[in-house]
Structure 1
Amino acid sequence: MSNFSDQFSEKIRFHEVKKAEWQRKFYFLVVIRLLIGLGMAYSLYHILYFKAVYPALYFFFGGLAVFLTMVNLSIRVKRKLLYHRKGVAFFENEVGMQAHELNQLFADGEGKELADFAVDLDLLGAGGIFQRLNHSVTPNGEETLLKWMRCEAVDQEQVEARQRLVKKISEQADWMTAFLVEGLSEDLHEAGAISMKMPEKSRKWSSLWQWVTYLLPVLGVLAVGQYYIYDSKMIGWAAVILSWGATSYFGKDLKAHFELISQKVALFYRYGRMMDLVEKLEADGLLKAHKASLKSASEAVGALRSVASLANQRQNALAYIIVNSLFGLDLQWYSRLMKWEQKYGAQFDAQLQLLGELDALVTLGWWQYTHPHYTVPTFGQRVDISALGHPLIPQSKCVTNDWGLSEENRLILITGSNMAGKSTFLRALGVGMVLSQMGAVVYAKRWNMPILQLLSSLRHSDSLQEQTSYFYAELLKLQKVMRLAEQRPSLILLDEILRGTNNDDKFEGSARIIEKLRRHEGLTLLATHDTALCLQYHGLKDIVHYCFESQIKGGELTFDYKIRSGQAKNKNATFLMEQMGIV
């Protein structure tokens, strides 16, 4: 852990130095732009008030060209500056996460739709598993991660293929950091996916208008030449009338398409940079196919960025009036956008989805890279787990457990006193199952389990709004678990079921649920305080008993949080109430 903290602290220092360098360059360009702008204003003043057209006119247009160049250069410098700022923020966040602080930069998934076991396993929300894992920098990447976390219709071949991709990516730490910092340099989540569904057109774009886009620059050059050589404005007026006439004719469409792309220039740049980085990714097999598919996407984003940059010249009022009047700026960028739609539009959203999948794989790769004490899961019918821990508990404090079962064991009863570790063990097992089926590494030294549907009933709450009692809420959850368990082999995690009824009802109901689950083709773990229930099912081959014990020594209650075979013998509820002065 300290080794990573040292590495990341060194990265912070590197980005701080680079950030300071690019900050100085940015301020320098700001000053140069200001001086050029003042010079242009002074030239314009001479032209308008002193009628001194020459050489002031040359200086004005020369200054305008330099000014626009400086603007574009400033944008590039600002992007570099933003990259290194985010580099500092990224590695500061990673240092914090190494100390088990909250992930401050990436989404926690709160409010997203996930499987029913999400609440039971603390998957979403602040401090949850998703927030600890998540390093997705695109909306599609985040959605892909959440989709994988649902563990729906997963098969072993699919998971093992994903594991190979994740392993290959995890071995390229510098590439991963470059990809992640590039994505963070613009708030891609805030801006949303760059889906390019074009607005409906009110005017048909035809080949005639395409020829007009070729004609207007020629007219503009001839107009400038005619004015300087013959002091005539005839061609210039023709260019102005044709250009602004076309702008007026396509006015509604130009406005709609400009709104679509004008605010996303920075996004196109970042997506393009991320796709350029994909070219540098060392890849083989399926990862190589991902690279090939994203190559044309990189070209599409590059072309889109060029169109958006040209269209954004509309925002420079004086330059826009001059350039659109003589060279048909609006028709130029609109024509390019129509060509882009024809060439790339049909497959662009699918390519962005592929980038999102790669983004999700990078998240899993970074998780594997920063958790070298975790293991790559294997899958088989026998349960064989060594040193299982919970990812939300710091490694220095986490007590790990070894656990194994034979193929005959179908149902496991786990007993133990309050706070001894039963619920944490169930959640660690459930989280491990989720991570393993995502293709991620698991907090264990060895993990071998079958791939199973995950079902759980660990937490319940009543609802005044829905007029649902605690007990009825639990029954609804159990009903769903039992129904889904009939459809596919499942890992079922249950914690102290039927707490909302009397002891006799609870005993009989629990026994009937156990009898039904004994016939279930899967694996069930049931944590309970009911020793009588455990005694009823003692000595059966398909039902195994495990426990967590507590000890009271010298007036102190202690736990070792280790799982053992057999049934728990020690109790602590009365002792705790005495210690707290309740009784």
Structure 2
Amino acid sequence: MNNPLEFYSKQKEIHQQELSKISKKLLISSLIRLFIFLAICFTIYYFFGNMNVIVPVVIGGIALFLFLVSRHSNLKDKSDKQKEIIKLNELEIDILKTRNFQDLPEGSEFENPVHPYSQDIDLFGRGSFFQYSNRTALYEGTKKLAGIFTENSIEDISQKQEAVKELATKAEWRQEFTALARLVKTETPSKTVIKWFKNYKNFVPNYMKWLPTVFSVISILVIAGYSFDYLKGIHLFLWFLAGLLFTGIYLKKINLLSGSVSKVQDTFHQYHLLLELLEKEDFSSEILKKNQSLIHSEKKKASAIFKEFSKAIDALDQRNNMIFGIFGNGFLLWDLRQSYKLEKWISAYRQNVEKWFEVIEFTDAYNSLGNFVFNHPDYVFPEIINEKKGISASKMAHPLLDPKKRVANDFAIGDEEFFIVTGANMAGKSTFLRTVSLQILMSNIGLPVCAEACKYSPIKLITSMRTSDSLNDDESYFFSELKRLKFIVDEIKTDRYFIILDEILKGTNSSDKAIGSKKFIRKLVNSNSTGIIATHDLSLCEITSELSQVKNHYFDAEIINDELHFDYKFKDGICQNMNASFLLRKMEIVDD
């Protein structure tokens, strides 16, 4: 069994040492550049007027300076990556030691009150399972992960397990991928980029494939002719002006193209590095191999294609240097040359960009699942039972509770059985319902569960545990609950579900509630579904005498020395000890 804390501590130390080496190289690089700059200035000053010395020194110095700038930029990228990897390891160390994950993204934007379960089981929001497990670096990856959590699919669970198991073993690779992804500075959402690519209309004529090259050759001849006095200055000027005027015809459209592609320049630069990482890695699980195959379908590697686009954007951006922009367009038709290259790239690959973006986003999302598996070596992967056998788990507990304090329970429910769970306030009913809910969710997405052993027949999840009224929609609490129950009834007509309900028909009087609840339970039992219903209404427990599929369980509370004590154990039978009156008195809300 791996030791996550030991691994993260070691990785932090390794990458801090690497960062220290790179920082020294950066310092040396800066000093050398400063020395070269001062040497050039000194040469110009000391040998002023001696062009035989100044020209070669200045040209050589500038060439060396530009080389060092490029090398310095590469070192800076490596430094930034090391810093991100150190942050990743520090984050995991902190969470493992303190269980403090409250500063991570909450995912509240993914909450959906009409989803089968996301509103009820603390899936999103502060202190949620999403906040605890999400390690995505890209917002699109975050959305992908939220989609995985809310998909409610029972397909290919074994394949999902194999994928997350494999990613769990690639901890260093995952960290490098996440670090690079964190360095992406996305100005434009990927959907907007994809839409722009698909709708883009070319404006550069096809003859621009050869015209800038011909124009550049002629420019060299014109400059040479002027240098050797074959042509006059006016001829050189008119040729230069012709280049500017010809570029000016398309200037407005070039500016629009340049402005659009500049916003995605960093994205494509980092994405090509991410694709390169994916291309080099060997995967064995079906899901990961299929994902990787989407970037191997072209003759060229997807990373090389993205790099090509990134370089073309860099080249077009040279126009932002005023001197180069003027002379480059006047003598080389630079903007038109680079615009043609960009448009050819867009035409050739616009249909593939979406697919390649999705590969990166999928990997970003699945890396979070692999990270979760790695961080929980004591969790167990459910044994998937294809026959309808229900769920059984030993020592099952809630994954978000402190391992030192949480109470584990054995749990087994057969297919098409229903449990009625009674219990005192704060005895653990709601936590138990969310524990079972999360176990089903985690099983369906391929994650291990917080238990010592688990057998699981895949089934979709649907819940009704948190209902609220709506002033905006002019709905009462009771009507909101009825709508939720109607939603459940409609869903179970077409598919099998594990249904989890907490205190149904809360918005009506006791007698009416008991009659309605019994009728509703009878309807559920006659479906092909399975489930748990928590209630304070002990009269509902009587239904077990007429329906053999329904069984009673409870959580207990005891009053010892005028203090409440909970054992949070899941037991067979009906709860006999209620505590509302005791709590009202204890908190001095009512008198004895």
Name the TM-score, length of structure 1 as normaliser: 0.90
Deviation at 1:489, TM superposition (A): 0.9
Q: Which range is displaced more, 56-65 or 527-536?
A: 56-65
Give the equivalent residue in structure 1 for 2:468. 461
Find out whether 1:180 has 2:175 as its counterpart: no
Corresponding residue to 1:332 among 337, 342, 345:
337
CA distance in 2, matches of 1:2, 1:289: 28
Q: Which AA in structure 1 matches 2:355?
A: A
Deviations 1:213-240 (A, max 9, x none): 3224434544554555558576854663
CA distance in 1, matches of 2:542, 2:85: 59
Give the equivalent residue in structure 2 for 1:519. 526
Give yes or no for contact 1:414–1:547 (8 Å, CA) kept in 2: yes
Give the equivalent residue in structure 2 for 1:5. 5
Deviations 1:86-115 (A, max 9, x none): 112211111122135444775332212542
1:414 aligned counterpart, secondary structure: strand
CA distance in 1, matches of 2:582, 2:534: 21
Give the equivalent residue in structure 1 for 2:209. 210
Give yes or no for contact 1:213–1:335 (8 Å, CA) kept in 2: no
Percent of paired sites with the same residue: 27
Give yes or no for contact 1:199–1:257 (8 Å, CA) kept in 2: no
Q: Are the structure 2 counterparts of residues 37 and 210 from structure 1 closer, same or farther at C-alpha, using a change threshold of 3 Å? A: farther
Q: Are the structure 2 counterparts of residues 11 and 104 from structure 1 closer, same or farther at C-alpha, using a change threshold of 3 Å? A: farther
CA distance in 1, matches of 2:46, 2:338: 34
Give yes or no for contact 2:111–2:124 (8 Å, CA) kept in 1: no
> For residues 121-140 of structure 1, what are the structure 2 equivalents within 5 Å?
121-140=121-140
The two structures, once aligned, show a CA RMSD in angstroms of 3.1
> For residues 266-277 of structure 1, what are the structure 2 equivalents within 5 Å?
266-277=266-277
Q: Which AA in structure 2 matches 1:318?
A: I
Q: Which range is displaced more, 504-513 or 237-246?
A: 237-246
CA distance in 1, matches of 2:584, 2:427: 16
CA distance in 2, matches of 1:379, 1:76: 48
2:551 aligned counterpart, secondary structure: strand
Give yes or no for contact 1:46–1:52 (8 Å, CA) kept in 2: no
Give yes or no for contact 1:103–1:132 (8 Å, CA) kept in 2: yes
Give the equivalent residue in structure 2 for 1:472. 479
Number of equivalenced pairs: 577
Give the equivalent residue in structure 2 for 1:417. 424
Corresponding residue to 2:358 among 353, 357, 360:
353
Give yes or no for contact 1:102–1:127 (8 Å, CA) kept in 2: no
Find out whether 1:406 has 2:407 as its counterpart: no
1:120 aligned counterpart, secondary structure: coil
Q: Are the structure 2 counterparts of residues 438 and 243 from structure 1 closer, same or farther at C-alpha, using a change threshold of 3 Å? A: farther
Deviation at 1:128, TM superposition (A): 1.1
Give yes or no for contact 1:139–1:193 (8 Å, CA) kept in 2: no
Q: Which AA in structure 2 matches 1:218?
A: V
2:383 aligned counterpart, secondary structure: coil
Deviation at 1:251, TM superposition (A): 1.3
Q: Which AA in structure 2 matches 1:163?
A: Q
Find out whether 1:580 has 2:587 as its counterpart: yes
Q: Which AA in structure 2 matches 1:502?
A: N
CA distance in 1, matches of 2:486, 2:5: 47
CA distance in 2, matches of 1:105, 1:326: 55
Give the equivalent residue in structure 1 for 2:570. 563
Corresponding residue to 2:84 among 66, 71, 86:
86
Deviations 1:180-204 (A, max 9, x none): 111112345x653283533867773
Q: Are the structure 2 counterparts of residues 231 and 288 from structure 1 closer, same or farther at C-alpha, using a change threshold of 3 Å? A: farther
CA distance in 2, matches of 1:267, 1:102: 31
CA distance in 2, matches of 1:507, 1:199: 58
Give the equivalent residue in structure 2 for 1:171. 169
1:119 aligned counterpart, secondary structure: coil
2:500 aligned counterpart, secondary structure: strand
Deviation at 1:162, TM superposition (A): 2.1
Q: Are the structure 2 counterparts of residues 445 and 67 from structure 1 closer, same or farther at C-alpha, using a change threshold of 3 Å? A: same
What 5-or-longer segments of structure 1 have no aligned partner? none
1:290 aligned counterpart, secondary structure: helix
Find out whether 1:391 has 2:399 as its counterpart: yes
Q: Are the structure 2 counterparts of residues 476 and 539 from structure 1 closer, same or farther at C-alpha, using a change threshold of 3 Å? A: closer
Corresponding residue to 2:380 among 369, 375, 378:
375
CA distance in 2, matches of 1:239, 1:30: 41
CA distance in 2, matches of 1:566, 1:288: 49
Corresponding residue to 2:507 among 492, 495, 500:
500
CA distance in 1, matches of 2:38, 2:228: 30
CA distance in 2, matches of 1:52, 1:116: 82
Deviation at 1:430, TM superposition (A): 0.9
Give yes or no for contact 1:243–1:325 (8 Å, CA) kept in 2: yes
Deviation at 1:427, TM superposition (A): 0.5
Q: Are the structure 2 counterparts of residues 183 and 233 from structure 1 closer, same or farther at C-alpha, using a change threshold of 3 Å? A: farther
Q: Which AA in structure 1 matches 2:96?
A: Q
Corresponding residue to 1:366 among 371, 381, 389:
371
CA distance in 2, matches of 1:41, 1:245: 37
Give yes or no for contact 1:216–1:239 (8 Å, CA) kept in 2: no
1:454 aligned counterpart, secondary structure: strand
Q: Which range is displaced more, 306-315 or 409-418?
A: 306-315
Find out whether 1:15 has 2:15 as its counterpart: yes
Q: Which range is displaced more, 525-534 or 130-139?
A: 130-139
Give yes or no for contact 1:268–1:305 (8 Å, CA) kept in 2: yes
Give yes or no for contact 1:4–1:370 (8 Å, CA) kept in 2: yes
Corresponding residue to 1:69 among 67, 70, 74:
67
Deviation at 1:542, TM superposition (A): 0.6
Q: Are the structure 2 counterparts of residues 401 and 173 from structure 1 closer, same or farther at C-alpha, using a change threshold of 3 Å? A: same
Name the TM-score, length of structure 2 as normaliser: 0.88
1:415 aligned counterpart, secondary structure: strand
Q: Which AA in structure 1 matches 2:536?
A: H
CA distance in 2, matches of 1:493, 1:487: 18
CA distance in 1, matches of 2:294, 2:185: 25
Q: Are the structure 2 counterparts of residues 479 and 192 from structure 1 closer, same or farther at C-alpha, using a change threshold of 3 Å? A: same
Give yes or no for contact 1:46–1:53 (8 Å, CA) kept in 2: no
Q: Are the structure 2 counterparts of residues 311 and 31 from structure 1 closer, same or farther at C-alpha, using a change threshold of 3 Å? A: farther
Give the equivalent residue in structure 1 for 2:438. 431
Give yes or no for contact 1:93–1:105 (8 Å, CA) kept in 2: no
Give the equivalent residue in structure 2 for 1:110. 108
> For residues 158-307 of structure 1, what are the structure 2 equivalents within 5 Å?
158-188=156-186, 191-193=188-190, 195-196=193-194, 197-198=196-197, 204-223=203-222, 225-226=224-225, 230=229, 237=237, 240-284=240-284, 286=286, 287-295=288-296, 296-307=301-312
Q: Which range is displaced more, 38-47 or 456-465?
A: 38-47
Deviation at 1:51, TM superposition (A): 8.5
Give the equivalent residue in structure 1 for 2:316. 311
Deviation at 1:57, TM superposition (A): 5.4
Give yes or no for contact 2:111–2:119 (8 Å, CA) kept in 1: no
Q: Are the structure 2 counterparts of residues 106 and 445 from structure 1 closer, same or farther at C-alpha, using a change threshold of 3 Å? A: same
Deviation at 1:341, TM superposition (A): 1.6
1:387 aligned counterpart, secondary structure: strand
CA distance in 2, matches of 1:105, 1:272: 30
Q: Are the structure 2 counterparts of residues 202 and 535 from structure 1 closer, same or farther at C-alpha, using a change threshold of 3 Å? A: closer
